[in-house]
Structure 1
Amino acid sequence: MRALLVATALLAAPVPGVAGQEGGGVDPAGFVGTWWGNVNIDGVDQRIRLVLTEAEGSLQFTEYSVKRGIVEETYTYQRGNPFKSNVSGNTISMTMPAARGSFSGTLSRVDERITGTFIQEGRSFPLILERVVEAEVPTCRPQDPEEPFPYLAEDVTYPNPDGGHAMAGTFTRPVSGGRFPTVILISGSGPQDRDGAALGHRPFLVLADFLTRNGIAVLRYDDRGVGGSTGDFGAATSRDFASDALAAVAYLKSRDDVDPGRIGLAGHSEGGLIAPMVAVESPDVSYIVLMAAPGVLGERLAQAQTELISRASGFSEEEIAEIVEQR
């Protein structure tokens, strides 16, 4: 859920510096390279990239980046702002003060993985780093539709009187046919733009293109505080995001190319929680479509995600139980 992203923001804080090797004189060469891994914090996945080099017998942490959804932050080494690391045999530990966290893991020279735990403010999250060369860094295979489109696309803005801010989005509709059935796309957790952009893909753009080609108008919008929409994303709750969707319904009713009796909602992830909230409140919503919507309480959902991701990452049942208990 969006309210759980506070911990995520802490992980994305800058952590530049030199990783000075402490004691033992162990050769750090085995850790030199580029490492990629995914960490899940409260059900939110983030991709982490670390670049470790060797300088005068010590590891140097030269670059760090975190990518979550449409946001990628990269930090490079700066003198005067160090963090510490310790290498002992095949084990490495790193302290990241700016992220209020630390990582420790064990290198397997067989499969080139560092399996360990990221600890942030007393909470533990499993993290497996895999060595890659830059040419092997996973690339996206975008499915973006290409112009010219056989339909009309219009950038629009409309107010949310409850929040006192403006929403910005894109409205697409067939070229002709009078008033059209229309669907509003509602995004999942985390700050997202109107296309739902994540890891090089834009699923809401793809979905809007398909629906509009098949006679259904679509309104997709930037989350409040994202892209062209104003407002404060960080202070908002699911109820606030529901008010943004209600404002979208009111806007569509004002258009003469929308059939007011056939306005619906399609929500993904947390959007699948918000859509029913809006439908209960507004008699103008004639249908809802739920995609990967939560079917249990948020606390249980976050626990289940942690268990499944930890198990898929190779942690033992005892380790998984300990991780869940520390949540």
Structure 2
Amino acid sequence: MKQLKILFLIIFYTPLIISQSTDGFWKTRLIIPGDTLTIYLELNNAESDARLTVKEQMLYDYKASEFYNEDSLLIEFPALKAKIYGSNKIVNDSLILLFDQGLFKQYVRLGRTDTPLFKNRPQNPVPPLPYSSENVKIENAGAGIKLAGTLTIPENVKNPPAVILVSGSGAQNRNMDIMGHSYFLVIADYLTRNGYAVLRCDDRGTAESEGDFSKATTADFATDVSAQADFLAAHPAGFDKKRIGVLGISEGGMIAPLASLQNSGITFLILLSAPGVTGGEILSSQSHIINTIMGEDPAQVAVTDCIMEGVVRHIQSTGNDSSLAKAIG
């Protein structure tokens, strides 16, 4: 009789742990200082694919660069400096995972949910498309890395011109996904429909591209663009070598001219919101504007402005930041 009671307790009072697939949509609430965020995860084990949506931050369907789901679960988003990991055992139809972003860490309980209502983006291209698209790997031999990207090629156009898309500051994937918009996906679609081959790559150290984004300089990114130009010139599709150019946005408008100086195969530039002043002036101005918008005391803003100007002068005069702390201390 005692054994039957024990068996009864095991059956009815042990949490329900069943080997189930983690495929599908999961939802949780993440409590951060001053706010609460609604987090959606879409997991697809067959495709080794995980995607993140955070509605309050207008981040939609953001693809993870790493998705591991065997003896445990690991999802990484290097561009966001975030990862989500823990046991992949489903307990009472829930997953308990750790959300880790820099110094911020919080355990969350994710429950199954329906497909989140994504923002309607009618400008995004929808198959079938009137051009071909292929995923490519491009070697930057000098840097010892390979870049991952997408090349779109117009149909029935002999020796089409080709354009390389270069994003601005911050780690960007090949679509330049920002706040629910896929800028480069849309631009590539438009240009390809109008007879241009278009190459767009994940920034080095971002998504599927190799390298370390945090240690890369503007000059390093220029070598990546130069490698992409060489790739296009040698491509068997036979692009017009006299018409291989670069479209750069923001910092990309600095990278593009640098790449053209390195590689004579780049024959034209399209610069959008490119800097018209020096990098030092940009950083000083951005620092002042951000501190003012954040409501800092005007006297403190002035002090910060002086420090920033000192930092810029030191780097411009020495060419390095190794003795920076001593110089401004």
Match of 1:222 in 2: 202
Distance in 2 (alpha carbons) for counterparts of 1:169 and 1:194? 6
Which structure 2 residues correspond to residues 98-113 of structure 1 after superposition, within 5 A?
Answer: 99=103
Query: Which of structures 1 and 2 has the bigger CA Rg?
Result: 2
- Alpha-carbon shift at residue 306 of structure 1 (Å): 2.5
Contact 2:79 2:206 in 1 (8 A): no
Distance in 2 (alpha carbons) for counterparts of 1:183 and 1:215? 11
Which of 256, 261, 270 is the aligned partner of 2:242?
261
Which of 241, 252, 268 is the aligned partner of 1:271?
252
- Deviations 1:203-250, CA, capped at 9 Å, x for gaps: 011110111111111000011122221122222211111111110010
Quote the RMSD (CA, aligned, Å). Answer: 3.3
| 2:174 is aligned with 1:184 | no
What amino acid is the match of 1:262? R
Distance in 2 (alpha carbons) for counterparts of 1:257 and 1:162? 25
Query: 1 or 2, which has the higher helix percentage?
Result: 2
Which of 174, 188, 191 is the aligned partner of 1:211?
191
Shift in CA distance, 200/72, structure 1 to aligned 2, threshold 3 Å: farther
Distance in 1 (alpha carbons) for counterparts of 2:195 and 2:211? 32
Match of 2:230 in 1: 250
What amino acid is the match of 2:283? A
DSSP-derived class of the 2:186 partner: helix
What amino acid is the match of 1:309? I
Shift in CA distance, 193/221, structure 1 to aligned 2, threshold 3 Å: same
Which of 131, 149, 159 is the aligned partner of 2:139?
159
What amino acid is the match of 2:200? R
Query: 1 or 2, which has the higher strand percentage?
Result: 1
Number of residue equivalences: 212
Shift in CA distance, 264/254, structure 1 to aligned 2, threshold 3 Å: same
Once superposed, which parts of structure 1, at least 4 consecutive aligned residues long, lie more than 6 Å away?
none
Match of 1:288 in 2: 269
- Deviations 1:265-287, CA, capped at 9 Å, x for gaps: 01111111110011122211111
Distance in 2 (alpha carbons) for counterparts of 1:219 and 1:32? 41
Flag the structure with more relative contact order, 1 or 2, with Cα contacts below 8 A and sequence separation at least 6: 1
Match of 1:197 in 2: 177
Distance in 2 (alpha carbons) for counterparts of 1:197 and 1:99? 24
Contact 2:163 2:198 in 1 (8 A): yes
Contact 2:161 2:239 in 1 (8 A): yes
- Deviations 1:131-180, CA, capped at 9 Å, x for gaps: xxxxxxxx866442222211111111121111111111111121111110
Contact 1:170 1:194 in 2 (8 A): yes
**Which moved further from structure 2: 199-208 or 300-309?**
300-309
Q: Which runs of 5+ in 1 are unaligned?
A: 1-17, 20-30, 36-46, 50-67, 76-97, 101-138
Distance in 2 (alpha carbons) for counterparts of 1:69 and 1:265? 26
Distance in 2 (alpha carbons) for counterparts of 1:270 and 1:48? 27
Distance in 2 (alpha carbons) for counterparts of 1:266 and 1:32? 39
TM-score, structure 2 as length reference:
0.57
Contact 1:303 1:324 in 2 (8 A): yes
Distance in 1 (alpha carbons) for counterparts of 2:143 and 2:35? 47
What amino acid is the match of 2:225? A
Shift in CA distance, 238/33, structure 1 to aligned 2, threshold 3 Å: closer
- Alpha-carbon shift at residue 307 of structure 1 (Å): 2.4
Contact 2:78 2:206 in 1 (8 A): no
Q: Which runs of 5+ in 2 are unaligned?
A: 1-30, 38-54, 58-76, 85-101, 105-117, 309-329
Shift in CA distance, 48/239, structure 1 to aligned 2, threshold 3 Å: farther
- Alpha-carbon shift at residue 326 of structure 1 (Å): 4.6
Match of 1:146 in 2: 126
What amino acid is the match of 1:217? A
Contact 1:140 1:201 in 2 (8 A): no
TM-score, structure 1 as length reference:
0.57
